[in-house]
Amino acid sequence: MQRLTSYIEEGVNDPAIFKAVFLAGGPGSGKSFIVGQTALTALGFKVINSDDAFESALKKAGLKTTPDDIYSPKGQEIRKGAVALTGKRMQLAIDGRLGLVIDGTGKNYEKISNQAKDLRDLGYEVAMIFVNTTEEDALFRNRKRARKLPDAEVSKMWRDVQKNIGKFQSLFRRNMFVVDNSEGANWKGATLKVYKQIASWSRSKPKGGIAKKWMDAQRKKG
Note the pLDDT of residue 222. Answer: 63
pLDDT given at position 1: 38
Record the pTM.
0.85
Model pLDDT, residue 127: 96
How far apart are the C-alpha atoms of 143 and 136, rounded to whole Å? 11
In this prediction, residue 9 carries a pLDDT of 52
Task: Tell me the domains of the chain and their CATH numbers.
Answer: 2-48+99-215 (3.40.50.300)
Burial of 121 (0-12, 13-18, 19+ CB in 10 A): exposed
pLDDT in tens, the chain (222 residues): 335 445 545 667 788 899 999 999 988 888 888 888 888 888 889 888 777 778 788 888 888 877 788 888 888 898 888 888 888 888 888 998 999 999 888 999 999 999 999 999 999 999 999 999 999 999 998 888 777 788 998 899 999 999 999 999 999 999 999 999 998 889 889 889 999 999 999 988 888 899 999 998 888 876
Q: What phi-psi label fits residue 94: left (phi over 0), alpha (psi between -120 and 50 degrees) or beta?
A: alpha
Other CB atoms within 10 A of residue 110 CB: 9
The number of residues in the chain equals 222
- In a 13 Å sphere around the CA of 47, the CA atoms on its Cβ side amount to 20
pLDDT of residue 78: 87
Looking at residue 10, its pLDDT comes to: 60
141 Cβ partners below 8 Å, 6+ apart? 27, 28, 29, 30, 133
